[in-house]
């Protein structure tokens, strides 16, 4: 999680308070972008998740995922939901 200007004001006091707390725990935007840049510049096998080596800190690299994130049924449900919400079909 990286703090960027995308976490602006929601207009609701509780949400704004939670975002303020979250921004204290978040990494900076440059650190967050590093994971994306690493993933796009490296020759990685499919199904590789890139993040900081030690959760919220450390060098970028392939890292593990939770059992739920590894489930094919979860991935299929997310894919179908994104197609439905965007009214777009992505052929595989």
**Per-residue model confidence as pLDDT tens digits over 49-60:** 998 888 878 889
Report the half-sphere exposure of 92 (CA within 13 A, side-chain side): 4
Q: What is the C-alpha radius of gyration for the chain, rounded to an integer number of angstroms? A: 16
Q: Is the pLDDT of residue 15 over 70?
A: yes
Q: How far apart are CA 28 and CA 52, in angstroms?
A: 13
pTM: 0.60
For the chain, the structural domain boundaries read: 2-64
Q: What is the mean pLDDT of residues 10-30?
A: 81
């Amino acid at each position: 999680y990286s703090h960027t200007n995308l976490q602006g004001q929601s207009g609701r006091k509780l949400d704004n308070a939670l975002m303020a707390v979250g921004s204290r725990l978040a990494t900076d935007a440059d650190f967050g972008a590093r994971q994306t840049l690493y993933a796009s510049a490296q020759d990685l096998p499919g199904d590789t998740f890139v993040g900081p080596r030690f959760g919220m800190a450390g060098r970028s690299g392939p890292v593990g995922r939770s059992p739920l994130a590894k489930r094919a049924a979860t991935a299929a449900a997310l894919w179908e939901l994104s197609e439905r919400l965007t009214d777009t079909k992505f052929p595989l």
